[in-house]
């Protein structure tokens, strides 16, 4: 069962939908009809408990397609992806006996952990920087992002997800048009926090063109 609530300290938009690690791979035998999403749901709760232990009071969040899906937006990915601080990444790696490595691609640069959990690929990024053609976003420098995390109850475990407003800004920066449209559809249907978007754009220090592009998505055919 999945239920969504706002993270303590921030009012959220109304009515959105609310899912013992080791370094080795433990593969589940998929039951007939079991989907990748249901497999992720089985993995997510125990995994979040371990991340919470490593993080203590430091920020962390589920990001990307899984975070969108838990909040009702149509998105699919075989992966579970998290971001947190560099120190938490080191601690978590020591707990799981998984070495961190540096990765830099077209849209993301970060130290990361990569491991399998019951057949589900898991990525954890430490202090990531997201790159687009014209802007870069550094989550650790955007306090309103962490304040606006959305707590989704997945099988009795509270999973902190990045808000859809952040995911929209990020998708615009990276030029991910399909994700922009999926996010827009969900936000138009369920509501959004325009003040949060203002703060994210300001704290993210994006260009005026990017800011205009974000508002153009929101305001199109209102």
Pick the CATH number of 2-6+37-219 from 3.40.50.300, 3.20.20.70, 3.40.50.1820, 3.30.460.40: 3.30.460.40
pLDDT over 70 percentage in the chain: 83
Q: What is the mean pLDDT of residues 167-188?
A: 96
pLDDT attached to residue 188: 95
Q: How many CB atoms lie within 10 A of CB 117?
A: 24
Which of 130, 150, 149 lies closest to 206, judged by CA? 130
CA gap 2, 154 in Å, rounded? 5
At 74-110, the pLDDT tens digits run 998 899 999 999 999 999 999 999 999 998 988 999 9
Read off the pLDDT band of 220 (50, 70, 90): confident
Residue 14: phi and psi, rounded to 5, are -75, 150
pTM given for the model: 0.83
Kindly tell me if the per-residue pLDDT of 22 is higher than 80: no
Which of the 8 DSSP states describes residue 106? S
pLDDT attached to residue 34: 56
pLDDT attached to residue 222: 63
Kindly tell me if the per-residue pLDDT of 215 is higher than 50: yes
At 134-154, the pLDDT tens digits run 999 999 999 999 999 999 999
Q: Tokens 């399998």 appear where?
A: 116
pLDDT attached to residue 195: 98
Across 54-100, the runs of DSSP E, i.e. the strands, are 60-63, 80-84
- Residues 117 and 79: beta-carbon distance below 8 Å: no
CA gap 14, 157 in Å, rounded? 21
At 6-21, the pLDDT tens digits run 444 333 443 332 233 3
- Give the contacts of 46 (CB within 8 A, at least 6 positions apart): 20, 21
Q: How many residues does the chain have?
A: 222
At 53-79, the pLDDT tens digits run 999 999 999 999 999 999 999 998 899
- Residues 43 and 118: beta-carbon distance below 8 Å: yes
Parse the chain into domains and list their residue ranges: 2-6+37-219
């Amino acid at each position: 069962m999945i239920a969504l609530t706002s993270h303590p300290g921030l009012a959220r938009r109304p009515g959105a939908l609310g899912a013992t690690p080791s370094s080795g791979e433990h593969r589940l035998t998929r039951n007939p009809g079991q989907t990748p999403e249901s497999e992720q749901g089985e993995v997510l709760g125990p995994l979040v408990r371990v991340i919470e232990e490593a993080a203590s009071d430091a920020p962390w969040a589920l990001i990307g397609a899984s975070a969108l899906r838990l909040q009702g937006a149509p998105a699919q990915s075989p992966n579970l992806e998290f971001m947190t601080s560099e120190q938490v990444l080191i601690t978590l790696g020591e707990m799981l006996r998984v070495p961190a490595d540096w990765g830099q691609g077209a849209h993301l640069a970060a130290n990361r952990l990569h491991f399998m959990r019951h057949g589900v690929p898991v990525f954890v990024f430490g202090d990531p920087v997201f790159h687009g053609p014209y802007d870069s976003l550094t989550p650790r420098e955007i306090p309103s992002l962490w304040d606006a995390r959305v707590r989704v109850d997945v099988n009795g475990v509270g999973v902190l997800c990045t808000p859809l407003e952040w995911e929209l800004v990020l998708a615009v920066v990276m030029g991910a048009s399909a994700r922009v449209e999926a996010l827009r559809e969900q936000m138009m249907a369920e509501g959004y926090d325009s003040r949060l978007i203002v703060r994210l754009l300001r704290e993210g220090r994006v260009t005026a063109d990017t800011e205009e592009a974000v508002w153009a998505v929101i305001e199109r055919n209102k």
